[in-house]
Amino acid sequence: MGHIYQKVRLRADKATTIRMLVDTGAIFSVIPPGLARILGIKRPRRFVKVRLADGRSIHLGDDIAIVRVDGRESPAIIRVGKIDEPILGVEALKALGLVVDPKRKRLSPSRPYAVRLGGYR
């Protein structure tokens, strides 16, 4: 299928727009420490141990940011670690109501809204 990249606006204390690799094999989104500093994330709220696809375990910082894609906006968990390029994970895609369209090689809506609060009609 190839790689899909998406223009994403991230907002924590500060905001910036970046290009992220859409990774349907990653549960959470991951950004490098330099980008975390640009967003005003000086020290992540906590650190978590994660297992990589190659079997290695590493510790990554954990924080929250507002993710905006194509007019859809939602809070999402952002992991901070030494990576080559920012990754947009499945948790953010689900919150935004987006899925990968492999034929068109882009993100498409899975529903007409982003986050929906449960119990409200």
Tokens of 41: 């994330």
Tell me phi and psi for residue 91, to 5 degrees: -60, -45
Q: Is the pLDDT of residue 64 over 60?
A: yes
More confident residue, 65 or 115: 65
Determine the pLDDT at residue 114: 72
In whole angstroms, give the CA distance from residue 96 to residue 69.
8
Q: Is the pLDDT of residue 119 over 60?
A: no
pTM for the model: 0.88
Instruction: Out of 17-21, 71-75, 101-105, 112-116, pick the least confident.
Output: 112-116
Fold of 10-105: Cathepsin D, subunit A; domain 1 (2.40.70)
Tell me which residue has tokens 């650190």.
47
Q: Once rounded to an integer, what is the mean pLDDT over residues 22-50? A: 93
